[in-house]
Amino acid sequence: MSIGISKNILLVDDNPLFLKILSQALTTAGFSCHTAKSGCEALDSLKAFKPDVILSDYEMPGMNGLEFRLQVLQIDSLKEIPFLFLTAHEDEGIMYTGLNLQAIDYVLKTTPFDVIVAKLTNLLHTVSKQREITEREIRKTVAALNIKTVPAAMPQLNGFDVDFWHRSYQNIPGGDFIDFIDTNNYLFVVIGDLMGKKWKAWFYTFTYLSYIRAAIRFSVITGNSSLANTLQQINAVVCQDEGLADILSSLSLVRIEKTTSRVIYSGAGDLPLLHYRPDVQELKQVKSTGMLLGVLPDGFYTEQEITMAPSDELYIFTDGLIDISSGGQQKTDYRYFANQMSGYFQLGQSFNDIKYSLQQQAAGFTDDSSIICIKKNSKHA
Amino acid sequence: MLKIVNEHPQYILAKVEIAEANLNYSDQFKTELVSLLKDKGRIVLLNMEQVTYVDSSFLGALVAGLKHALGAGNDLALSGLQKDVHDLLKLIRLDKVFKIYANEQAAIAALDQ
C-alpha cells in the first residue's frame, strides 16, 4: 500500500474480546481503530469522527447490524463510507439483504485475522485509487472546458511588478481564484476564496468569476469609477442567483490606475492586506469593511486609496495561508503569518524568496493557498 | 454533532460537539443546523466552547444557517467562542452579522430581555 492512505476504521461488535483482538491486529497493521460495542454507540461516535471504513457485526442485541447500516445510509456525509459486515456464520439470506444495502462485503468471524487485515487494506487501496482516477477526470474536464481559476501569466504593468503564488489543495481546481483584468486605463487585480472546497467548487468558482469579470468590464464601459459599487453589484447578483444559494466567497479587488499609478482597494470578507514600506521597515494592515459575497443583500462595501511609495509592497492573500498546525492541532492565526512575513522582510527577502519558502511548506497546507504581491518599482515616481 | 441542551419557548440552546470544525463535518453540520431551525422555528443559540478551529467551509455552513434563520424571521446566535475562532470571525467581519455572546449565560440574559 502506498504511503499516505488514510486508514481510520470503525469496528462495531458487542463482543468486547473479539473487538479487542481484532483492533490489536489492525493497529499492528497501521490502522487507527475506533471501537463501539453497539450500533447506538457507533452512531454516537460517528457524530465526531469520520472513518475511512466501517466494519460492523451483524448479530448484535438492540440495534442489529442491518439496522445500523440503514441508519448510516440516512446520513449524507456518512453513506459513502465503505461498509462491511461481520457474521458468525454464512447465511445467504442475510448476505443478500446486506448487499442490497450497499454493503461492500461480508467477512466471516472465523476468517483468520491476517486475511481480514489484508481484505481491509486492499479495499482502502482500491478506494484511494478510484478517488485518484476521479480527480484526474475532473482535472481533465476542467482543462477541456478551458476553465482557469488562476491566470497562466503575470500581467505587465508600467511602474509595478505584479506576481503571485498559488497552491491548490489536493490539486483539485476551485476554491481560491485569481484574475488580472487589463483594460486601457486600469489593471484590476482580483483574488477570492470560495468557502468550502467541494467537488463542484470549480463550477461555482467559474460562475463567481464570470460575474466578477462582467461587473468589472461593465464598470469600465459605463464609466463607473467606484470599486465599492462594483462589489455591491457583484454581491447583488450573487444574492439573487439561486444556483449560488449558500455559496459564499471572499473577494479582494485592487485597481491600479495606469496613468496616475493610484492604487484603490475594496474588499468583501477578505483578510486584511499587508502593506510593507521598506524605507521605514514598517508592515501595516489594510482593512476593508465589506461582508463576504452572498451573505446579505447589502454588504457594506467601501473603498480606499492605498498610497504606495517607490519600493513599497502590497500583499493580498487567502485564508489557507493563515492556517497552521501546531502540536497536532489546527489553528487559524493571522498574526503568526504577519510575523512570518515581517521576518522575511527583516532578512531582506524578495517575493521570489517568499514563494520558495511557501513552496517548501506547501505539503502541510490543508486548504487552497494564494498570495499576490504588488510591488511599486523603485524608480517610479 | 449538534446537541440540544435546553429548549426554551423563545429559543433553543445547542452545543457544537466538535473540536476541529472542518470540511469533513460542514455538510452534516449544515443539515443538522437547518433541520433544527426548521423543526423548532425559534432562535437557535449555539454554544461553541468546544470548537478550537473552524475552516472556511464550516463558516459557510454557519452563515447558511444564519441566512436560513433570518429568512424565517428567526436568528442564529453564537456563544463561548474561543479566542482564535472569535478573532477569525472579526477578521472577516462575520462578527457584524452574528450576535456573539461571551458565554451561554450572557446570551440567555440578552435573549430573556
CB–CB contact B28 A75 (8 Å): yes
Residue A340 and residue A276 in contact, taking contact as beta carbons nearer than 8 Å: no
Residues A87 and A162 in one domain: no
Query: Residue A182: is it exposed, middle or buried by C-beta count within 10 angstroms (0-12/13-18/19+)?
Result: exposed
- Evaluate if residue A3 carries a pLDDT over 60: no
Count of CB pairs separated by less than 8 Å, A with B: 96
Residue A97 and residue A54 in contact, taking contact as beta carbons nearer than 8 Å: no
Residues with Cβ < 8 Å from A95, sequence gap 6 or more? A85, A87, A106
CB–CB contact A47 B60 (8 Å): no
Q: Which DSSP category does A270 fall into? A: P
Q: Is B81 on the interface with A (CB under 8 A)?
A: no
Residues A115 and A255 in one domain: no
Considering A142, A163, A191, which residue would you say is the last residue of a domain?
Answer: A142
| Closest chain A CA to residue B68 | A246
Q: At what angle do helices B83-91 and A334-346 cross, to 10 degrees?
A: 70
Is the ipTM value over 0.90, yes or no? no
Residue A213 and residue A181 in contact, taking contact as beta carbons nearer than 8 Å: yes
Sheet strands (E) in chain A: 8-12, 32-36, 53-57, 83-87, 105-108, 156-157, 160-167, 176-182, 186-194, 249-257, 263-268, 273-277, 282-286, 304-306, 313-317, 323-326, 329-332, 369-376
Judge whether A2 lies within some domain.
no
Residues A229 and A289 in one domain: yes
CB–CB contact B52 A332 (8 Å): no
- Evaluate if residue A381 carries a pLDDT over 90: no
Q: Is B54 on the interface with A (CB under 8 A)?
A: yes
Residues A165 and A66 in one domain: no
| Grid coordinates belonging to A336 | 503568526
Residues A115 and A162 in one domain: no
Nearest Cα to Cα of residue A225 among A170, A281, A305, A157: A305
Residue A196's pLDDT is: 62
Considering A127, A142, A157, which residue would you say is the last residue of a domain?
Answer: A142
Strand pairing class (B20-21; B53-54): parallel
Q: Is B35 on the interface with A (CB under 8 A)?
A: no
Edge-to-edge strands of the sheet including A176-182? A176-182, A186-194, A249-257, A263-268, A304-306
Q: Is B4 on the interface with A (CB under 8 A)?
A: no
Give pTM, 2 decimals.
0.75
Residues A153 and A127 in one domain: no
- Longest distance between any two alpha carbons in chain A, whole Å: 84
CATH number at residue A257: 3.60.40.10
CB–CB contact A292 B63 (8 Å): yes
Residues A372 and A281 in one domain: yes
Q: State the residue range of the domain holding A76.
A: 8-142
CATH number at residue A90: 3.40.50.2300
Place of cell 476468517: A111
Residues A95 and A234 in one domain: no
CB–CB contact A47 B96 (8 Å): no
Residue A26's pLDDT is: 92
Residues with Cβ < 8 Å from A242, sequence gap 6 or more? none
Judge whether A54 lies within some domain.
yes
Residue A148's pLDDT is: 76
User: Which residue type does A369 have?
Assistant: S
Q: Which of A79, A246, A251, A321 would best serve as a mutation to test chain B binding (most B beta carbons within 10 A)?
A: A246
Q: State the residue range of the domain holding B82.
A: 2-112
CATH number at residue B25: 3.30.750.24
Q: Which of B33, B91, B96, B98 would best serve as a mutation to test chain A binding (most A beta carbons within 10 A)?
A: B91
| A50, A292, A331: residue with CB nearest B24 | A50
Judge whether A381 lies within some domain.
no
Residues A118 and A249 in one domain: no
Counting the structural domains of chain B, the total is 1
| Closest chain B CA to residue A197 | B57
Judge whether A74 lies within some domain.
yes
- Evaluate if residue A327 carries a pLDDT over 80: no
Residues A231 and A319 in one domain: yes
Judge whether A3 lies within some domain.
no
Compute chain A's Rg from CA coordinates: 26
Counting the structural domains of chain A, the total is 2
- Evaluate if residue A43 carries a pLDDT over 60: yes
Q: Specify the DSSP element, H or E, that contains B93.
A: none
> pLDDT band at A370, cuts 50/70/90?
very high
| Grid coordinates belonging to A346 | 527583516
Residues A89 and A156 in one domain: no
Residue A1's pLDDT is: 35
> pLDDT band at B55, cuts 50/70/90?
confident
The model's pLDDT over A46-103, given as tens digits with 9 standing for 90+, comes to 887 889 999 999 888 889 888 999 999 988 788 889 999 888 877 777 777 777 777 7
Considering A142, A171, A201, which residue would you say is the last residue of a domain?
Answer: A142
| B55, B64, B91: residue with CB nearest A334 | B91
Residues A15 and A52 in one domain: yes
Q: Is B20 on the interface with A (CB under 8 A)?
A: yes
Q: In 3-state terms, what secondary structure has residue A285?
A: strand
Q: Is B27 on the interface with A (CB under 8 A)?
A: yes
Residue A355 and residue B78 in contact, taking contact as beta carbons nearer than 8 Å: no
